[in-house]
Chains A and B, each alone.
Chain A
Amino acid sequence: MAPITMIEGIRQAMFEEMDRDPAVVAIGEDIGVYGGAFKATEGLLAKFGRERVIETPISETAIIGAACGMGFLGLRPVAEMQFIDFIACCFNQVTNFVAKSHYLWGAPVPMVIRGPSGGGVHGGPFHSANPEMYFVHTPGLKVIYPSTPSDAKGLLKSAIRDNNPVLFFEHKFLYRRIKEEVPEGDHLVPIGKAMVRREGQDITILSYAAMAHTAMEAAEQLAKEGIEAEVIDLRTLLPLDRETILTSIKKTNKLLIVHEDTRTGGIAGEIAAIVCEGAFEDLDGPITRVTALDTPVPYAPTLEERFLPNTEKVVAAARELSKY
């Protein structure tokens, strides 16, 4: 099978799931005739028609509310946020209604909210955000943030089949920059399982999304210096795969966490607590993090580069940690 991009993996997941189950519908802004702002839904309308590819006004709250209502009748809607930044517009609907329905009154909401996220493409402060932690902090949701075409496809298919509301973040920097062969057939990747991308015994670098690639690049550089890093791609942020994290720490005894989300309240803090609770005595050095700055995502390339973590920053931090 020819290698495909991440956006193509997402598109294929949509086509395959809508083909498989007529309960799956797509809803969002400009997702039909135009095929979506990033063309993730291109061709869906021609194949599945207006009843299943629902183009809405600019109304994020209405999109999520309607998708939730459809879920109550047994449909499996996939709602697109044109840019994931706009999920802030429907924060209440997602966190207060969708997320709480099953716990409070036993109403499962089988829906997916997907959309392009992340920076590095000079999208500016309203088209580059990584708002995943608002939702990782919300019981009742699942949060997925893949880094490869194969994972994006397999995890989106799993998300659509899940009985819970799933937030599916798609890093737009990765949409067309990487290609990968995707397994043939009904390719599913389980939600809640991290992936060891590179084995090593000296240090663990935990990351996800675009930063998983940065971590890999850093690991290659570190290898030249004689530091063998184990790189873990979280893939799912909620629920977190504690087992894979703790197993790796017990092996390498050092943890570096890299994320593109801002520093305060980022997932690094949560993971640090999990590791302290579960593997404190295995640690040989301080849990270290490389993250974006605690600022909005700035627009100018010079500013955004300063804002984002990169390979050099990860290598430098790993080098320091290795000294312990």
Chain B
Amino acid sequence: MSNPLTREQHLGLYYFMQLNRQLEERMVRLFRQNKIVGGLYSSLGQEAVSVGTCYALEEKDWIAPMIRNIGALLVKGVPPRDIFTQHMAKYTSPTLGKDGTSHFGDLKVRHIVSPISMLGDLIPVMTGVAMAGRYLGQNIVALTWIGDGGSSTGAFHEGLNLAAQQRAPFVLIVENNQWAYSTPVSRQVPIKNLADRAVAYGIRSWIVDGNDVVAVYNTAKEAVDECRAGRGPALIEVKTMRMRGHAQHDPAEYVPKQMFEYWKARDPIDLYEKYLTENKIWEAKTKSEIDARIARELDVEQKFAEESPMPPPELAEEGVYCEGCHAIEASWQRPKAEVTPPACSLEPGWEVKDYGAFLAGEATRKEIAAPAVNAPAGNAGGNGAKISKPIVKSGGKAPQQKPPLRPIEPEAPEVPRVPFGRGPKDKSVRESQNPRDRHANQNPRDKRGRR
């Protein structure tokens, strides 16, 4: 596809990815020196996702990062000192030491909603941000990220469904980094592409090579532009790889070595440097200049953080409630009269376009084929489902060869749950609990019984 990025923007992408990486490398050293108070969650190998997606936003747009989306914070204008001080629990940090890591936000200037460890919860929150922005006439887009792991939460479903129902200007980046702590994607979800889930919400989706920053940016830009134009929410699955353990304490020995090797050869910054050189967007000198600038900046920021004090103990007691410390004022970009009676008044009632019955000619039922599955071979086949072809985005520079790694096979076919006191090897138990029979008895509930 055409690439509308200017040279300056190209260099901007590099600057932020490299800043992201260098900042984190310094934090690893600080961690080893015992200067990081809590955990340290690396985004090594995922820089193109954070930077490429956030780069597609305008200043007025809102983000809610996950803990690893440090690159997005940097693109939004957060100074590296904020990330250093947060991790070091310093009084100069955005939360004054009340929370660590990337857990901080900025409502007024940069429009950042703080992450929360309970994944998925920010999807409904950002849906609300998008709805409020539209209500106030601000023409903003709200964007958040969710991992392959977090995509299994109930909040993911509730939030995305509400966003779709409201046609909210909301973009969800599903950052598939292959691992939810120690569990591979194939053991979390039975589908191959998490983007397939978008179909269930009636929203548009893309799949993109998450280690190709230009492809990530272009896809995000397209989604953001469409969102802003009022076409409802969008979902982008970004395929990438977490190149470290869940956090510093985790050596990630559960990841097959070949898998690391495969992805190391596809390092997003290496690939992008090659791209910039091949396309003559920069010279060697430019790179060294940017790298030197990053080192200079980080020296200053790190020094500031290391020399900052810890918070005074009495701060623990302060700030539970807003007692006049914040002025809450919405920024109206449309006339209030539009949402004030009588302009907003209406005749209540539902418009029901059809009566909801199943009508397909003479047929009384229709089989819907399942999308591509990720399940073990023994369980997956048999339904004749074809692998759907999603919109796959890639800048074309990434190595195209098939992954040389062995497939991550689940250890054994699913063993039926057995009554207490009877072993799974008991033949009669196995026969009486054929997995297919178990599913046949599950009746979907249309609605919750509320009376």
Task: Enumerate chain A interface residues (CB-CB to B < 8 A).
Answer: 19, 22-23, 25, 32-33, 45-52, 54, 56-77, 82-83, 92-93, 96-97, 101-108, 110, 127, 139-140, 142, 163-164
Q: Are A66 and B124 in contact (CB under 8 A)?
A: yes
Closest to A48 in B: B344
Are the CB atoms of B103 and A47 closer together than 8 Å?
Answer: no
- Point out the residues of chain B lying under 8 angstroms from A74, CB to CB: 132, 136, 328-331
Given A57-B158, A76-B328: 11 more A-B contacts, CB < 8 Å: A46-B348, A65-B122, A65-B128, A66-B124, A73-B331, A82-B450, A96-B116, A104-B98, A108-B328, A127-B450, A163-B322
**CA–CA, A162 and B346, complex, Å:** 29
Q: Is the CB of B133 within 8 A of A49?
A: no
Are A163 and B124 touching (Cβ within 8 A)?
no
**How near does chain A come to B338, taking the closest CB pair, in angstroms?**
9
* Contact between A46 and B346, CB atoms less than 8 A apart: yes
Bound CA–CA A201/B445 (angstroms): 57
Contact B158 A62 (CB under 8 A): yes
Which listed residue, B99, B122, B132, B346, touches A45 by the CB 8 Å rule? B346
Interchain CA distance A50-B116 in the complex, whole Å? 30
The interface size bin for chain B is 35 or more
Please tell me which one of the listed residues A32, A76, A96, A140 contacts residue B118 in the complex, with CB atoms under 8 A apart.
Answer: A96
- Chain A residue nearest to B316 in the complex (CB): A103
Specify which chain B residues have a CB less than 8 angstroms from the CB of A61 in the assembled complex.
121, 124, 154-155, 158-159
9 interchain residue pairs of minimum CB distance: A69-B128, A65-B124, A74-B330, A66-B128, A49-B344, A73-B132, A108-B322, A69-B129, A62-B158
Most buried by B among A52, A108, A139: A108
Residues of B near A101 (CB, < 8 A) are: 114
Partner of A97 from B118, B159, B325 at Cβ < 8 Å: B118
User: Does B28 belong to the interface (CB within 8 Å)?
Assistant: no
> Once the chains are docked, how many angstroms separate the CA of A142 from the CA of B321?
9
Complex Cα distance, B340 from A110, in Å, reads: 20
Q: Are A107 and B131 in contact (CB under 8 A)?
A: no
Q: Known contacts being A49-B345, A58-B447, A92-B118, is A70 close to B162, with CB within 8 Å?
A: no
In whole Å, how far is B331's beta carbon from the nearest beta carbon of chain A?
A: 7
Q: Which of B85-102 contact A (CB under 8 A)?
A: 94-95, 98-99
A244, B450: Cα distance in complex, Å: 39
> In the complex, what distance in Å separates the CA atom of A33 from the CA atom of B340?
19
Is A66 a contact of B127 with CB atoms below 8 Å? yes
Smallest distance from the beta carbon of B74 to chain A beta carbons, Å?
A: 18
Chain B residue at smallest Cβ distance from A29 = B450
Residue from B124, B126, B341 within 8 A of A64 (CB atoms): B124
Q: Is the CB of B328 within 8 A of A163?
A: yes
Known: A51-B339, A61-B159. A96 touches B128 (CB 8 A): no
* Count of inter-chain pairs, beta carbons less than 8 A: 191
Q: Could you list some 7 contacts between A and B, CB below 8 A?
A: A22-B339, A46-B345, A73-B331, A83-B450, A104-B103, A106-B325, A107-B114
Taking CB atoms and an 8 Å cut-off, the chain B residues in 243-283 that contact chain A are none
Interface of B is mostly: loop
Contacts of B122 in A (CB 8 A): 65
Contact B124 A70, beta carbon cutoff 8 Å: no
The yes or no answer to B307 lying at the interface (CB within 8 A) is no
* A32 CA / B344 CA spacing, docked (Å): 14
A33, B94: Cα distance in complex, Å = 44
Contact residue among A19, A23, A57, A66 (Cβ-Cβ distance under 8 Å from B125)? A66
B213 within 8 A of A: no
B50 within 8 A of A: no
Nearest A-chain residue to B345, judged by Cβ? A47
Contact A93 B95 (CB under 8 A): no
B37: min CB distance to chain A, Å:
15
A70 touches B320 (CB 8 A): no
What is the chain B residue whose CB lies nearest that of A239?
B321
A82 to B132 alpha-carbon distance, docked (Å): 22
B420 within 8 A of A: no
B85 CB to nearest A CB, Å: 13
Q: Give every chain B residue within 8 A of A103 (Cβ-Cβ).
A: 98, 319-320
Q: In the complex the two chains form, what is the Cα distance from A245 to B89 in whole Å?
A: 40
Whole-angstrom CA separation of A77 from B136 in the bound complex: 13
Which residues from chain B contact A92 at a C-beta distance below 8 Å? 118, 121, 155
By the criterion CB–CB under 8 Å, are B320 and A102 in contact?
yes
Chain B 391-425 interface residues, beta-carbon cutoff 8 Å to A: none
Which residues of chain B are near A33, meaning CB under 8 Å?
A: 348-350
Q: Which residue of B lies closest to A69 (CB)?
A: B128
Q: Which of A51, A83, A96 contacts B135 (CB 8 A)?
A: A51
Asked if A56 and B328 sit within 8 Å, CB to CB, the answer is: no
| Set of chain A residues within 8 Å of B52, measured between Cβ atoms | none
C-alpha gap A104/B322 in the complex (Å): 12
Taken together as a complex, chains A and B put the C-alpha atoms of A96 and B120 apart, in Å, by: 13
In the complex, chain B residues whose CB is within 8 Å of the CB of A32: 348
Interface pair A105/B95, CB less than 8 Å apart:
yes
